[in-house]
Chain A
Amino acid sequence: MKKWIGLLVLILGLALAAAPEKKNVTIAVGGKSLVVYLPLTVAEQLGYFADEGLNVRVEDFKGGSAALKALLGGSADLVVGYFDHIVRLQAQGRDLEGVVLIDKYPGLVLGVRSDLADKVKTPADLKGMKVGVTKPGSSTNYFVFYLLAKQGLKPSDVSIIGVGGGASAIAAVERKQVEAISHVEPVISTLEARGQIKVLVDTRNKEGSEAVFGGPYPAATLYTHRSFVEKNPETTQRLVNAIVRALQWLQGKSAEEVVAVMPKAYYQNDPELYTTIVRNSLGMFSENGLFPEEGPKTAYKVLSMFDEKLAAAKVDLSKTYTNAFVEKALAK
């Protein structure tokens, strides 16, 4: 008898529990294996999406803007990408909204070529030099401009060279095509391991980020159209649940423990280097997924320093993110 009542209760409970509007979800990301997006892979690998009853497919693109285009074009439901894009697109009238914060700090690093390390001690010393960035107009680009501005220099005081995202960036430094480089992992640690650069400015953690920006600077975010969120609140909630769970799992873990759950393909080439990269980046991840209020403000401030159109546009920063889903996830 008890068994039957239990079963009935279970069935009723399941029926009454809100079902996700969309079971199959596509998330676009520009470089899935990048350590800045590591929590996404953690959620996938540890089955957190599946636990939430979701079938998530992660589509990997060759860069943040390609991933964003997939979202805008309608082929992807959500994007894991940098918060900057949300601000920029809100200025263009696109109502995008971040639903959970993955990286609280941007992980941008400025490094100088080892052979010039004694001449260049601060960003101001880069005057007249060539600085490599992923591509002109990217976060790595604006990072350089911001650092220069803080020391009273203008963007035109350096030469910005787009060196791409991968091996080409490494080659650019090794072939002395640039004197300094503004980039993210794994390029930074790889260059360091090869003795090619010395790190000048490091925002892969709280201390470095606060030194540069005076506070948190939201970076990797799970975001989408507000209309998607409104049409699929339960699905969104479950996605956020999974990400928050992954972020919480990461807390207190050692780099080795984290690497152990990642796909072998990510590190099989050089497990030691990968572990180093993870170790250097653990400080970047948000511990709970909440957007700190000052964060979007800082992002907007930095971006509008160099983007006149953005500065002119009225952006309602409160629309760029919501903590509602994260709070519900944390309450569980």
Chain B
Amino acid sequence: MDRHKVRLLQLGLLLFIVLGWEFSVRLGWVDAFFFSKPSDIAVRIYEWFASGEVYRHLWITLLETVLAFITGTLAGVALGLWLALSPTAAAVLDPFLKALNSVPRVILAPIFTLWFGLGITSKIALGFTLVFFVAFFNTYQGIREVSPVVLANARMLGASKNQLLRHVYLPSATSWILSSLRTSVGFAVIGAVVGEYLGASAGLGYVISQAEGVFDTTSVFAGIVVLAVFVVLLDVAVSLVERRLLVWRPEPGQEGGTV
């Protein structure tokens, strides 16, 4: 894959979308009231950052995202570990977990507000419910996919149960867990923003909700763009960690080695 070519195509596509949007609005094909236009959105974003007013909201959303991400991942990995290594527990809890995961988070939002109040906790809780299941399913799968040969080998070499967990199960599951982290980050943001959108006094979701209330479509889209960039940055951060921790894994499509 030629990276330069990919980048060029990406750039081209982006330009196409942005310019197409801009001109559709300017030519009157698309109503600016409902869609705004890229030039206005860009100006609004610039104003937000130049005046610094957006930093407070970004910080709140970031805090909620990170905390939801950390708590959800830790809990999901822990439960995934337990259930993968304990088939009885897994069988018992399976329907409960499936039921819980099927609840639309939007419905949970007011319930969490009731339980956790209006501060960041209820937003973190929403993000948690999304991150948790992703981390859980990936850990569970990752552990169950441990190579039986590697497992047998470790056992023959004298590994205790704890040592198996530490040296075989966890590292094997790590690549699954890490790949789930990148999805989870996006979900953590969604949870935070949805929570803010439905009832808050600060945060990116709040800003978007407010803008909606005054028909400020430009700010709504500006908020969405900032949010998207925010998620991309987080994703890059996670993938850097992933690369560092998975240095032992061969690149996809490349097997065997040199010499």
B-contacting residues of A (Cβ < 8 Å)? 26, 28, 31-34, 57-62, 66-67, 69-70, 73-76, 165-167, 170-171, 186, 190, 194, 265-270, 274
B212 lies within 8 A of A166 (CB): yes
B172 interface residue, CB < 8 Å from A?
A: no
A59 touches B201 (CB 8 A): yes
Q: Could you write out 8 A-B pairs with CB less than 8 Å apart? A: A60-B206, A61-B199, A62-B209, A76-B118, A265-B210, A265-B219, A266-B214, A270-B215
Q: Is B114 an interface residue (CB 8 A)?
A: yes
Q: Helix, strand, loop or mixed for chain A's interface?
A: mixed
Q: In the bound complex, do residue A265 and residue B216 qualify as a contact, i.e. CB atoms below 8 Å apart?
A: yes
A269-B215 in contact (CB<8A): yes
In the complex with contacts A60-B209, A166-B213, A269-B219, A69-B118 CB distance below 8 A: no
Q: Kindly state the separation between the CA atoms of A66 and B34 in the bound complex, as whole angstroms.
A: 25
Asked whether B213 lies within 8 Å of A32 as measured between CB atoms, the reply is yes
Bin the interface of chain B by size. 20 to 34
Most chain A C-beta atoms within 10 Å of own C-beta, residue among B33, B110, B200, B213? B213
Shortest B244–chain A CB gap in Å is 41
The reply to whether A186 and B214 form a contact with Cβ atoms under 8 Å apart is yes
A166 contacts which chain B residues (CB < 8 A)?
Answer: 212-213, 215
Q: Let me know if A59 and B200 touch, CB within 8 A.
A: yes
Contacts of B218 in A (CB 8 A): 269
Most chain A beta carbons < 10 A, residue from B114, B209, B214: B214
Nearest Cβ on chain B to A266's Cβ, whole angstroms: 5
The distance from the CB of B19 to the nearest CB of chain A, in whole angstroms, is 23
Contacts of B118 in A (CB 8 A): 26, 28, 57, 59, 70, 75-76
Inter-chain CA distance A274–B212, complex, in Å, is 14
Which residues from chain A contact B174 at a C-beta distance below 8 Å? none
Chain B residue, CB-CB nearest to A73: B114
B200 to chain A: which residues have CB within 8 Å? 59-60
Chain B residues near A61: list those with CB within 8 A: 198-199
**Residues of chain A with a CB closer than 8 A to B201's CB:** 57-60
Determine the main DSSP class of B at the interface with A: helix
A265–B214 CB distance below 8 A: yes
Q: Quick check: B110 and A69 within 8 Å, CB to CB?
A: yes
Whole-angstrom CA separation of A194 from B33 in the bound complex: 10
B30-55 vs A, CB cutoff 8 Å, 1 = contact: the mask equals 00011000000000000000000000
B46 to chain A minimum Cβ distance, whole angstroms, is 13
Which 7 pairs of residues, A with B, have the shortest CB-CB distance? Answer: A73-B114, A269-B216, A33-B213, A61-B199, A75-B117, A59-B118, A75-B118
Look across to chain A and name the residue whose beta carbon is closest to the beta carbon of B213.
A33
- A177→B212 CA distance, assembly (Å): 21
> Which residues in B have their C-beta under 8 angstroms from that of A268?
216, 219
CB contacts (< 8 Å) of B217 on chain A: these are: 167, 269
A69–B114 alpha-carbon span in the complex (Å): 8
Which residues, 14 to 40 on B, are CB-close (under 8 Å) to A? 33-34
Please report the C-alpha to C-alpha distance between residue A33 and residue B213 in the assembled complex, in whole angstroms.
Answer: 6
Cα distance, A61 to B201, chains bound together (Å) = 9
Closest residue on chain A to residue B47 by CB atoms: A268
Partner of B214, one of A33, A57, A59, A73: A33
A59 to B201, CA, bound (A): 5
A265–B118 CA distance with the chains assembled, in angstroms: 22
In the bound complex, what is the Cα–Cα distance between A60 and B195 (angstroms)?
11
A residues in contact with B216, CB < 8 Å: 265, 268-269
The answer to whether B197 has its CB under 8 Å from any CB of chain A is: yes
How far in angstroms is the closest Cβ of chain B from A125?
A: 29
Provide the bound-state CA to CA distance between A270 and B214, in Å: 9
